[in-house]
Structure 1
Amino acid sequence: MSAYQLTPKATRDIFDIWLWIARDSVESADRVEIAILENCQMLAEMPKAGHLRIDLTKKAVLVWPASPYDKYVIVYDPRSKPLRILRVVHASRRKVWRRGI
C-alpha cells in the first residue's frame, strides 16, 4: 500500500467540507470524507491518474475528482514521495486554485 501525505491546507479543506455537509447530515459528511480519503489512497497507488490543468494553476500539479462526489477535486503533486495532497477544493472555486496551491 502506497502512502500519501495531506498538507495542512488539504487537512483544513477536508475538515471544512465535512463541517459544511454536516450542517445537514453527519452521515453524509462522513461518507464524503471517507470517499475523499479513499481517492487519496488510490492516487498514492496510481499517481499519474490525474489530469494536468494548466488553465487553473501554473504549478506542475495534477487534479482528480473525488469520486463519486465529483464536485470536490483533489489537487496533488505526482512527483512527491509520499504523494502530497495539496488541496481538496470545490470544483467551482477557481480563485482558490490560482492563489492557494
Structure 2
Amino acid sequence: MSRVRFTPEARTDLHDIWDYIARDTVDSASRFTDTIEEKCRLLGASPEMGRGRPELAPDLRSFPVGNYVIFYRPVRGGVEVVRVLSAARDIPSLF
C-alpha cells in the first residue's frame, strides 16, 4: 500500500483552502479538499504522474487540481506532500 505523508505546511494549506471555499459553501469546501486528498493518494501510488519542478527544489514534483497545485516529493513507499497552493500565487517565492 502506498503512503501519503503531509508536511505541517501542507496540512495548513488544506485547512486554509477549506476555510476559503467554506465562506461560500461548506459542502463545496469539503468536496474539494476531499478531491485534493484523493489525488494525493493517487500520487502516492504513482509518484511519477506529476511534473518535475527542479527549478523550485530538488526532487519536487507538482500536480494540478482545479486552480490549485499539489507540490510533493516521491519518498520510499509513497509521497510527501509539501504544499498545496493556489496556482495564482507567486509560487517560486514560497520555495
Normalised TM-score (structure 1): 0.85
Normalised TM-score (structure 2): 0.90
Supply the distance in 1 between the matched residues of 2:21 and 2:14 (Cα, whole angstroms).
11
Which residue is 2:73 aligned to? 77
One-letter amino acid matched to 1:91: A
Q: By percentage of residues, which structure has more strand?
A: 2
RMSD over aligned Cα, in angstroms?
1.4
Equivalent positions of 1:1-101 (< 5 A) are 1-55=1-55, 57-66=56-65, 70-78=66-74, 80-81=75-76, 82-94=78-90, 97-101=91-95
Runs of 4+ in structure 1 over 6 Å off:
none
The 10-residue stretch of structure 1 (57-66 or 11-20) with the greater mean CA deviation from structure 2: 57-66
One-letter amino acid matched to 1:34: D
Size of the aligned set, in residue pairs, is 94
Quote how far apart the aligned CAs of 1:3 are.
Answer: 1.0
Q: Percent identity?
A: 36
